[in-house]
Amino acid sequence: EGVDVDALRDLARRLATEAGEHVRTNGPERVEVAATKSTAVDPVTQMDRTVEELLRSRIATARPDDAILGEEGDDVPGSSGLTWVLDPIDGTVNYLYGIAAYAVSVAVVAGPVDPERWTPLAGCVHAVVDGSTWTAARGRGAERDGRALRANVPADLATSLVGTGFGYAAERRAEQGRVLARVLPRVRDVRRIGSAAIDLCRVADGSLDLYYERGLNPWDQAAGALVAVEAGAFVGGLRGRGPGVEMTVAGAEPVVRDLVALLEECDADGADDGVRS
Ligand code: IPD
């Protein structure tokens, strides 16, 4: 194919760490909401916008033929067949409240811009506050701060620590609460960390056993999903589908299958109710 995935990973790492440094050193005393997006509880801060601009300008210089898909701006078309998928701050609500779990997520994918169909090539998730940096390149494994990662292989669902997250729309949340009520009695415990990118990386490094969430955008999951896959985890959807807006489930085989089965049983992707994302 002639694509140097190591070079792409190194670039993703440079971009994400530079962006993280920017957030660390230029943060205002008190973070304010600049605007709201999908609903009144879905915030954007000035920092989300500034950091995305920074990432976009670096990519335009380093890789002018690549396309860009970012959370906070217009899609940039490209001619190379590669697309950079950017989340300047994944975990914006944590950033807003000064809760440490937020990250810059930078991925590069080949093929159609659709998490169910694209091929992730490289990615980096950089946790801004503690500087933890997870990277992966396709077929090359995943690392956290230079240490190779292997997802935890849980003994069973009942002793698994499961991460999840919630969308920003009230109806979706009511649904997610219904599913959570089915999952919680079946597992060790549940964490809502507040950054899908970090959740997926935690599955990769064994600091969560399993993760699921409905309604993720491509930028929330592009880099983290590759990190989890390269650490040996399954990342997919329900009913044999790939990870996408309807559901993303991550974790090591075989126990991840039990979570998939449970989520299918609760219709956690809404396949039976006709209410699609
Ligand atoms: C959100 C976070 C959160 C997840 C939401 C995402 P944002 O991303 O990843 O953990 O539950 O679904 O939208 O808005 O902070 O970039």
**What is the residue extent of each domain of the chain?**
5-148, 157-265
Average pLDDT over residues 167-185: 97
What are the helix (H) ranges across the chain?
A: 5-26, 46-62, 92-97, 170-183, 196-205, 218-230, 255-265
pLDDT above 70 as % of the chain: 98
At which residue do the structure tokens 């998939």 appear? 260
Rounded to 5 degrees, what are φ and ψ at 229?
Answer: -65, -45
In this structure, of 36-40, 52-56, 63-67, 145-149, the range with the lowest mean pLDDT score is 36-40
Closest CA to 200 of 237, 151, 245: 151
Dihedral sign for Cα atoms in the order 19, 20, 22, 27: positive
pLDDT above 60 for 274: no
pLDDT above 90 for 1: no
Average pLDDT over residues 223-229: 98
Q: How far is the CA of 235 from the centre of ligand 1 (A)?
A: 18
Q: Which residue, by CA, sits nearest to atom 16 of ligand 1?
A: 90
* Furthest CA-CA distance within the chain: 51
Q: What is the separation of C-alpha 101 from the centre of its chain, rounded to a whole number of angstroms?
A: 13
Residues 54, 37 contacting (CB under 8 angstroms)? no
Q: How far is the CA of 4 from the centre of ligand 1 (A)?
A: 30
Distances in Å between the alpha carbon of 165 and those of 73, 88, 262? Answer: 23, 18, 17
When pLDDT is cut at 50, 70 and 90, the band that residue 56 belongs to is very high
Q: How far is the CA of 125 from the centre of ligand 1 (A)?
A: 14
Task: Tell me which architecture the domain covering 157-265 has in CATH.
Answer: 3-Layer(aba) Sandwich (3.40)
pLDDT digits (tens, 9 = 90+) for 27-54: 888 888 999 998 999 989 999 999 999 9
Q: How far is the CA of 2 from the centre of ligand 1 (A)?
A: 34
Mutate to test the pocket of ligand 1, among 90, 97, 104 (most ligand atoms within 8 A of CB): 90
Q: Which is the closest atom of ligand 1 to the Cα of 48?
A: 16
Q: What's the pLDDT at 24?
A: 96
Q: How far is the CA of 271 from the centre of ligand 1 (A)?
A: 22
CB hemisphere CA count around 38 (13 angstroms): 12
Q: Which is the closest atom of ligand 1 to the Cα of 94?
A: 15
Residues enclosing ligand 1, CB less than 6 A? 71, 87, 90-92, 165-167, 194-196, 213, 215-216, 220
Average pLDDT over residues 159-184: 97
Reduced DSSP (H G I as helix, E B as strand, rest coil) percent helix, strand, coil of the chain, to 5: 35, 25, 40
Exposed / middle / buried, residue 24 (Cβ in 10 Å: 0-12, 13-18, 19+)? exposed
pLDDT above 60 for 226: yes
CA 65 – CA 117 distance, rounded (Å): 21
Q: How far is the CA of 270 from the centre of ligand 1 (A)?
A: 19
When pLDDT is cut at 50, 70 and 90, the band that residue 277 belongs to is very low
5-148: CATH homologous superfamily?
Answer: Fructose-1,6-Bisphosphatase, subunit A, domain 1 (3.30.540.10)
When pLDDT is cut at 50, 70 and 90, the band that residue 207 belongs to is very high
pLDDT above 90 for 128: yes
Q: What's the pLDDT at 265?
A: 97
Q: How far is the CA of 16 from the centre of ligand 1 (A)?
A: 17
Q: How far is the CA of 229 from the centre of ligand 1 (A)?
A: 20
Q: Which residue, by CA, sits nearest to atom 2 of ligand 1?
A: 195
When pLDDT is cut at 50, 70 and 90, the band that residue 73 belongs to is confident
Q: What is the separation of C-alpha 240 from the centre of its chain, rounded to a whole number of angstroms?
A: 20
Q: Hey, what are 227's tokens? A: 């990190």
Q: Which is the closest atom of ligand 1 to the Cα of 196?
A: 9
ipTM over the 0.90 cut-off: yes
Q: Which is the closest atom of ligand 1 to the Cα of 199?
A: 10
Q: What's the pLDDT at 200?
A: 98
Higher pLDDT, 113 or 265: 265
Q: What's the pLDDT at 25?
A: 94
Give CA torsion, residues 5, 10, 12, 16, to 10 deg.
160
pLDDT averaged over the chain? 95
pLDDT digits (tens, 9 = 90+) for 231-254: 999 999 999 999 999 999 999 999
Identify the DSSP state of 98: T
Q: Which is the closest atom of ligand 1 to the Cα of 92?
A: 15
Q: Which is the closest atom of ligand 1 to the Cα of 87?
A: 16
Q: Which is the closest atom of ligand 1 to the Cα of 164?
A: 11
Closest CA to 118 of 134, 103, 138: 138
Q: How far is the CA of 112 from the centre of ligand 1 (A)?
A: 23
Count of residues in the chain? 277
Closest CA to 210 of 164, 141, 179: 164
